[in-house]
Chain A
Amino acid sequence: MCTSFKTELLKGVHNFTAASNVFKLAMYTNSASFNAATTAYTSSNEVSGTNYTAKGNAITTVTPTSSGTTAFVDMDNVVFTNVTLTGVRGALIFNEAASGDPTVCVLDFGGDKAASAGDFTVVMPTADSSNAIIRIA
């Protein structure tokens, strides 16, 4: 989770319900160096390949909800269709509609992934209080 995102939540920068907020998922090679201090989208070390466009694909988010004392946001799987990509190690989720493309979180795929003239799907976790993509407990 990016630290700047926590601050921006308190400032009302991000709204996972408003259609005016466009959250996107951009993918990166293992050369990218992201951590909690990452604040904004960058094109540096972003993957490139057939049918992949810079800044990646838009994410469909589900209205935040809660279970017990945990609030969470769910997101639909993100599919990059008919792409040829290699060495895809991770991703950034960021808010393209906010000034400066501020980041939400960094995702690590656990290893280099690839697709050749095929579909590349980022599978989001189960939408519950223990697994959802963004949780506030």
Chain B
Amino acid sequence: MNMPFEMSVGSVGVKTTNNRGFTPEEVAELCVDRLMIVSNDAPPAIRDQALAHKERMKAVIAVYMKQAIQSDRTTVYNAISDAGHKKLAEYIRKM
């Protein structure tokens, strides 16, 4: 009896930003890449439908991420405002 055995390491990628963080759209793209895999070998009709669904997921995730960011800003605004830094709080609210 002979069973082939192999251990492998996958390839990683790197994404970076300069003078800013990732935008909701950029993070949403990373998110859907983790959530959904579409094989290049899939039948064209299925592949196209899957890719369209993936794009839709990305858009929805980006919208909710923006809402989360705005909601967190409200929390941060109140925390900073309560600490007596009204001007800084207002600056953050307007970002």
Chain A residues near B (Cβ < 8 Å): 1, 6, 76-77, 81-82, 88, 91, 105-107, 109, 113-128, 131-137
A-B CB contacts (within 8 Å), total count: 90
Q: From DSSP, what is the main secondary structure of chain A's interface residues?
A: strand
Chain B residues near A (Cβ < 8 Å): 4-22, 30, 33-34, 37
Q: Which A-B residue pairs are the 7 nearest by beta carbons?
A: A118-B17, A125-B10, A115-B16, A123-B13, A116-B18, A133-B10, A105-B9
> B91 to nearest A CB, angstroms?
18
A134 close to B7 (CB less than 8 A): yes
Which residues of A are found within 8 Å of B14, using beta-carbon distances? 88, 109, 113, 120-123
Given A1-B8, A134-B7, A121-B15 contact (CB < 8 Å): yes
Given A107-B9, A134-B9, A135-B8, A128-B18 contact (CB < 8 Å): no
Given A109-B12, A123-B12, A125-B12, A118-B7 contact (CB < 8 Å): no
A124 close to B6 (CB less than 8 A): no
Which residues of B are found within 8 Å of A125, using beta-carbon distances? 10-13
User: What are 5 A-B contacts with C-beta separation under 8 Å?
Assistant: A1-B7, A107-B9, A109-B14, A118-B19, A119-B22
